Structure 1
Amino acid sequence: MDLSPFKLDIDELINEFVEGEFTTLADMKRVWLSRKFTYIFEASPPTKLAFFMQSLYAHTIGHMISTSSLSQRLGGLYCLYCLYETQPFKPPFKIYFSLGELKKLKNLVINAKEHGIKVVPALVKRMLEKNMFLFGFVDLHEGSVSETVNQLTELQDARVQVAYKKLFDDTRIEQFLHMDMGMEFDLEMLKKMSTEYAEAKKHAIREANKAVDVQNIQHISDDREFIGDEVERITENWNVQRQVFYQQTGLNQRHAQKDEQQQQPQHKKHEQQDDDFGDEFSHQLELQLIEEEQLQQKEEDDESNHELEL
């Protein structure tokens, strides 16, 4: 996917803002409207929209955290805000923001305050209140956009992929009853990712608090149950319910008996064959005894008849 034309449009937009020596959000809105910049989304690709938006965000953030003039950095911030607010996607794609980039944003807010540009701290506060950012530990360099987007979507896709595979590849109830939910969802990795993201949010709020008032959004970083802990709780409850089901239906016992029968040792088969042979031998011996008794009885009868004739 060639995003060079989109990045060039962003460069030209911010350059016009810089050439006019503008510093306010109102100035950026005028430049934005004059260039009809919202039409940038008309040419968005039909697929990989997350990659598309994160690429635009990353390129714009590059202007915002650069070492160039204050006007260019402000242009990057305002452009980033406008890209988020004008995107046609529902729900909107959040802006991936690393902790390193957050520190540079804090410095930008401080510089803006020093120059009396009051709209900047108010704007950053608004962006935080609207929860526009998706905080992470890794800097989103343009060369690693695809990899980072995959990492961001991995968590939410994992459960859908597992459910799809289980429901369509194998619908037998035994497969679901005997599966290990913790292993299916890679519980340890899930807990690690959710913990890291929670820590990133807390750190982001603490850093932002040094430059702007974040009292109204402090609840975002408050301790709450992580998704990894929630999945672990569901897994434990699943195991309990599964055991109750086993006790009520005896399904697990029958499953174990089936496995035991399939794994029956060869000597058990030989013992069964020996028992069958013994039963057959006993039956033959019984028939032989009956025949001998009948023969003896016949001889006795013949002898008795002979005595009577005499």
Structure 2
Amino acid sequence: MEVKPFLLDIDELISQFIESESISFAEFKRIWLSERFSFIFESMPSTNLGFLMQSFYAHSLGYIFSSGPLSNRLGGLYCLYCLYETQPFKPPLRIYLSLGELRQLKNFVVDSKRSNLHVVKALVKRMLEKNAFLFGSVGVDEGSAAERVNELIDIQNAQVQMAYDKLFADSRLEHVINMDMGAELDIESLKKRSRDYAVAKQRAIKEASRVIDVGNVKHMIENGRLLIGDSVEKTAADWSRHKEAFYKQTGFRVPTNQPNVPTDSERNHASPEDDGNEDDEFGRELEES
């Protein structure tokens, strides 16, 4: 996929903002609207949207963390904010931010406040409140956009598994999904009762045949008829097969009593709660700065 044309559009947008010799967010929005820049989303291909959006975000972050003039850095922040706010995706694709970049962003907020540019703090705080950031470990200078997207996929997979655990933990749904239908219905006892009933029915019809015509009900005792116990046993076996298929499709497994030992990947990746903690901590730092 060719990303460069899209990134050149972002460069041109920020370049126009720099040439305006303004540092106001209102001026950047005016240029964005005059260029109808939101149409960038309509020209995106229908595949690899996550890769493209993270490439846009990373390119804007590159301006923010550059050593260039303030107008460059502001242009990057304004562009990042507008890309996030105007994207058509629901839920919105979050902005990947490494922990090192988080520190750089905090420093940018502190520096801008010293210069009486309170708009920087306001925009960053608004993005935090919207949970716009997803924290990871690969920085802009440490890996490609593809590596960042791969880490995002790993994080999201971990979050999906966590969602399964929360959804199914100690719930009636968990009981149903993990249910052993054979044990629940006591199939062995049911099969015995159905066999006893079949024998009793056969004996009763034979006894009745001595005094009346049983032709209309004789089919009820013919050999080869599936007993109710056997039918339920077959249904339970089908349930077990479907349950295994569900496990394979979703990755959800029967919980054990063993304590969960996190994998190396899970240790390195932030969980949804970790994201919230980072947001809260960063938000407090912003308030204190």
TM-score normalised per structure 1: 0.57
The residue aligned with 2:88 is 88
Pairwise CA distance, 1:107 = 1.7
Whole-Å separation in 2 of the counterparts to 1:136 and 1:155: 8
The alpha-carbon distance between structure 1 residues 155 and 133, as it changes in their structure 2 partners (threshold 3 A), is closer
Alpha-carbon distance in structure 1 between the residues aligned to 2:57 and 2:88? 15
Q: For the Cα contact (< 8 Å) 1:18–1:71, is it kept in 2?
A: yes
Give the letter aligned to residue 118 of structure 2: K
SS of corresponding position for 1:210: helix
User: Where in structure 2 are there 5+ consecutive unaligned residues?
Assistant: 165-237
What is the distance in 2 between the residues matched to 1:63 and 1:182?
A: 47
Instruction: Using the TM superposition, give the Cα deviation of residue 102 of structure 1 relative to its aligned residue in structure 2, in angstroms.
Output: 1.4
**Gap change, CA 1:21 and 1:182, over 3 Å in 2:** farther
Match of 1:71 in 2: 71
Moved over 6 A (4+): 177-180
Identify the residue that residue 176 of structure 1 maps to in structure 2.
Answer: 244
Return the alpha-carbon distance in structure 2 between the equivalents of residues 201 and 135 of structure 1.
10
Greater length-normalized contact order (CA 8 Å, ≥ 6 residues apart): 2
Decide whether aligned partners of structure 1 residues 68 and 24 sit closer, same or farther in structure 2, where only a CA change above 3 A counts. Answer: same
Counterpart pick for 1:206 among 245, 268, 281: 281
Q: Which amino acid aligns with 1:50?
A: G
Structure 1 residue identity aligned to 2:126: R
What does 1:1-310 align with in structure 2 at a 5 Å threshold? 1-141=1-141, 143-157=143-157, 173=240, 176=244, 181=254, 188-189=262-263, 191-192=266-267, 198-199=273-274, 201-203=276-278, 205-212=280-287
How many equivalent pairs are there?
A: 204
Structure 1 residue runs of 5 or longer lacking an equivalent are: 164-170, 215-310
Computing the radius of gyration over CA atoms, which structure comes out larger, 1 or 2? Answer: 1
C-alpha deviation, 1:83, in angstroms: 0.2
CA 1:194–1:63 in 2, change beyond 3 Å: closer, same or farther? closer
Decide whether the 8 Å contact of 1:58 with 1:142 is kept in 2. Answer: no
2-structure distance, mates of 1:96, 1:173: 41
**Structure 2 length-normalised TM:** 0.61
Distance 2:141 2:93 in 1: 18
